[in-house]
Amino acid sequence: MCNFAEDRYATLFYAQYDPVSRRFTYVNAGHNQPMVSRYNAENGHDSSAGHDRLLERLDEEGDPVVGLLKECQYEQAEIALVPGDVLVLYTDGISEAMNADLEEWGEERLITAAKLSTHLSAQDNVTAVIASADRFTAGAPQNDDLSLVVLKVL
């Protein structure tokens, strides 16, 4: 049972990663859908940044946000990761970052920036994606946090 005011709710993404089995187990309660960038098996392991990668979204539908329904069951999902996979988790402050013309950076730009950074370390991937969002917003004030987590499977 949630203890929220009737007009309050929160998104939540909870996950556990087992580095031995490479299993990523998660629950998504209305949060942005994380994505996994994977090698395209048909193209082999081309070293050109991002061009040989496929993108898979985790949990297309997801469960309701926390606090919206008095009684709610949340479903756990699991995905097997393989070496070379890059998992990208983010808040809507990243995809909804705006420039001075109030144009959103958007998920397509986020996806492009993440795919083009897959050859980098996880930390450098975060830095590159945030830098890309910053170039787009060009110093315009933001109304939300810009949070990004990248997990690179070795």
In this structure, what CATH number is given to the domain that contains residue 135?
3.60.40.10
Q: Which of 65-69, 106-110, 116-120, 146-150 has the lowest mean pLDDT?
A: 65-69
Q: For residue 4, is it within any domain?
A: no
Predicted local confidence at residue 42, as pLDDT: 65
What is the residue type of 36?
V
pLDDT in tens, 41-85: 665 555 445 557 888 888 766 787 787 777 878 889 999 999 999
Instruction: Classify strands 53-57 and 77-80 as parallel, antiparallel or unpaired.
Output: unpaired
Within 8 A by CB and 6+ apart from 44, the residues are 52
Chain-wide mean pLDDT for the chain? 86
CA distance readout (Å), 17 to 108, 115, 132, 139: 26, 21, 28, 35
Q: For residue 7, is it within any domain?
A: no
Q: For residue 78, is it within any domain?
A: yes
- H or E element: which one contains 95? helix 92-95
CA distance 67 to 65: 6
Q: For residue 32, is it within any domain?
A: yes
Residue 1 scores a pLDDT above 80: no
Predicted local confidence at residue 50, as pLDDT: 53
Q: For residue 144, is it within any domain?
A: yes
Indicate the number of domains in the chain.
1
Q: For residue 5, is it within any domain?
A: no
Domain with 124, as residue range(s), is 12-152
Q: For residue 111, is it within any domain?
A: yes
Residues 63 and 29 sit within 8 Å (Cβ to Cβ): yes
CA distance 33 to 13: 9
* Residue 148 φ/ψ, nearest 5 degrees: -145, 135
Q: Which of 53-62, 117-126, 132-141 has the lowest mean pLDDT?
A: 53-62
Q: For residue 30, is it within any domain?
A: yes
